């Protein structure tokens, strides 16, 4: 269905991409972090150093969990619980964890905005996922609800700069995954984040010394929000 701008009747709104059918089952996907590549494991470890090593991490929309696998190996006392909407990446990750003998990283199918898991984690991590979620404010609330008191939520979110970038892509390079962003249906501002979460976010890129990296651009802000102890 053609993307329509907000204000359209709800039955005409853009559908999110089906990641299982259109990506994991349809392509020879490779392991890696979508934003920030191999740096993301170092950034996550730096975050641990700066705010304290969490006992538990909940990663939502983990995909191949590149950073999570690397950091789980380096921090064996931290339990990583990783979730994704696509069953095949969850199965592949379980197999990898088993093969590598990693007992502190666990995978399950779950999806935003209505997460089935109701556990709390010291760190909830959701990178390069909200771009693809329709009810983005409900999703943010669900993520923040899973943060234990004294813990943190780290996430990236879709904004108007990302929308401009998607719209400027040449026709042949348009990415179906970004149809919600292109239609402007799930964009958030910094003020929106504060309104939804009740706390002003701070820049994750700045905290982990990644501010000057190319991927830390205006179109891919990464932020973190503490939760009161």
Ligand X SMILES: C[S@@+](CC[C@H](N)C(=O)[O-])C[C@H]1O[C@@H](n2cnc3c(N)ncnc32)[C@H](O)[C@@H]1O
- The footprint of ligand X (CB under 6 A) covers 19, 33-35, 60-63, 84-86, 89, 111-112, 127-129, 132-133
* Neighbouring C-beta atoms of residue 172, cutoff 10 Å: 5
15/74 with CB nearer ligand X: 15
Q: Quote the least distance from Cβ 124 to ligand X, whole Å.
A: 12
91/149 with CB nearer ligand X: 91
* Residue 223 CB burial class (10 angstroms; 0-12, 13-18, ≥19): buried
Q: Quote the least distance from Cβ 88 to ligand X, whole Å.
A: 9
Q: Quote the least distance from Cβ 108 to ligand X, whole Å.
A: 11
28/191 with CB nearer ligand X: 28
Q: Determine the residue with CB nearest ligand X.
A: 63
Q: Quote the least distance from Cβ 229 to ligand X, whole Å.
A: 27
**SS3 letters across 141-166:** HHHHHCEEEEEEEEEECCCHHHHHHH
User: Is residue 123 within 8 Å of residue 178, measured between CB atoms?
Assistant: no
47/132 with CB nearer ligand X: 132
Ramachandran sector of residue 132 (left: φ over 0; alpha: ψ -120 to 50; beta: rest):
alpha
CA distance 146 to 26: 32
Q: Quote the least distance from Cβ 130 to ligand X, whole Å.
A: 9
63/201 with CB nearer ligand X: 63
């Amino acid at each position: 269905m053609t993307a329509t701008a907000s204000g359209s009747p709800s039955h005409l709104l853009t559908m999110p991409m089906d990641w299982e059918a259109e990506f994991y089952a349809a392509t020879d996907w490779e392991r890696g972090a979508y934003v920030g590549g191999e740096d993301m494991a170092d950034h996550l470890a730096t975050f641990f150093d700066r705010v304290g090593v969490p006992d538990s991490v909940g990663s939502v929309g983990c995909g191949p969990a590149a950073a999570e696998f690397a950091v789980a190996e380096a921090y064996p006392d931290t339990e990583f619980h990783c979730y994704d909407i696509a069953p095949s990446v969850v199965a592949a990750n379980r197999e990898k964890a088993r093969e590598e003998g990693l007992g502190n990283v666990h995978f399950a199918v779950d999806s935003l905005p209505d997460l089935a898991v109701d556990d709390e984690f010291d760190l909830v991590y959701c990178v390069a996922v909200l771009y693809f979620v329709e009810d983005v404010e409900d999703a943010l609330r669900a993520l923040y609800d899973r943060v234990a008191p004294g813990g943190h939520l780290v996430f990236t979110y879709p904004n108007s700069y990302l929308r401009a970038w998607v719209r400027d892509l040449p026709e042949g390079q348009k990415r179906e995954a970004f149809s919600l962003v292109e239609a402007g249906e799930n964009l958030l501002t910094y003020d929106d984040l504060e309104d939804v979460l009740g706390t002003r976010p701070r820049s994750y890129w700045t905290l982990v010394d990644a501010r000057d990296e190319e991927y830390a651009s205006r179109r891919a802000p990464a932020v973190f929000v503490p939760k009161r102890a």
